[in-house]
């Protein structure tokens, strides 16, 4: 059992992406990881995939999800459901930060480029 | 791949608890369910447990988590991590609604009373 004060959790970043791991293997979880991210205007995630199901909760901002050759535009209060291993990329197309929670069905979470090359992360997942 | 507009999703309720399933088996998920709930002032969840890991994201309000004979008080912007099968109960002890997102490592999610009796839910999980 853990009660995490989100404001006290370690912060990390990739270019244009601020990150906090809200819950994961460091809390004893094996089947859930929860990430909170803020993507800056004009920023994006890298194109990537995970070997697990993922759900992205869009809290604020607007953007595009590119997946399986299609573009899905979204606004705030939207839920994106991604199948295991679907290569995808999320773009902030709005004027403010894109605030999201990403939920994964495994912990720790590995991230791969679409060709399968692992992406090294600057945070515990 | 699904893009769910949260405002368009079906709403359900238990006494004192408003519920929306943001993502789950109806989106093809097997290992993730995401519930959005609002617990009214003086309301609570029933005492219950799940046969999977659970993380509760507290968005707004304040309350108490009762688990394993202990009481954990929490405010907004807090993350609660619950081990598989830990009987627990969440109380709204604040003056406004307690707004939360509950994340489960399976879909659909079964809910049991602490003694193992299943709780029938009025929503798809």
Per-residue pLDDT of chain B (125 residues; tens, 9 = 90+): 899 999 999 999 999 999 999 999 999 999 999 999 999 999 999 999 999 999 999 999 999 999 988 999 999 999 999 999 999 999 999 999 999 999 999 999 999 999 999 999 999 98
Q: Which residue of A has its CA nearest to B104?
A: A32
Edge-to-edge strand list for the sheet holding B70-74: B70-74, B63-67, B88-92
pLDDT (tens digit, 9 = 90+) per residue, A99-113?
Answer: 999 999 999 999 999
Query: Does A92 fall in a domain?
Result: yes
CATH code of the domain containing B46: 2.60.120.10
The tokens of A17 are what? Answer: 């992406």
Contact A4 B34 (CB under 8 A): no
A71 contacts chain B (CB < 8 A): no
C-alpha A100 chain-centroid distance: 7
Q: B36 with A14: CB under 8 angstroms? A: no
Domains held by chain B: number: 1
Kindly calculate the radius of gyration of chain A based on its CA atoms and give it in whole angstroms: 14
| CA proximity to B34, closest of B101, B115, B93 | B101
Residues 76-105 of B with CB under 8 A from A: 77-83, 86, 101, 103, 105
Query: Which residues of chain B does A52 touch, with a Cβ-Cβ cutoff of 8 Å?
Result: 31
A39 contacts chain B (CB < 8 A): no
Find tokens 């004027």 and name the residue: A95
Full domain range(s) for residue A91: 19-104
Q: How many whole angstroms separate alpha carbon A15 and alpha carbon A10?
A: 17
Query: Does B55 fall in a domain?
Result: yes
Query: Does A12 fall in a domain?
Result: no
Q: How many whole angstroms separate alpha carbon B1 and alpha carbon A20?
A: 25
């Amino acid at each position: 059992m853990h009660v995490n004060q989100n404001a006290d959790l370690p912060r990390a970043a990739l270019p244009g992406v601020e990150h906090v791991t809200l819950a994961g293997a460091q809390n004893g979880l094996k089947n859930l990881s929860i990430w909170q991210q803020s993507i800056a205007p004009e920023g994006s995630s890298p194109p990537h995939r995970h070997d697990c199901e993922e759900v992205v909760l869009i809290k604020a901002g607007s953007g595009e999800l590119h997946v399986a050759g299609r573009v899905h535009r979204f606004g705030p209060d939207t839920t994106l459901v991604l199948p295991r291993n679907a290569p995808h990329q999320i773009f902030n197309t709005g004027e403010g930060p894109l605030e999201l929670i990403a939920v994964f069905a495994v912990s720790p979470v590995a991230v791969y480029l679409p060709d399968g090359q692992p992406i090294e992360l600057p945070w515990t997942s």
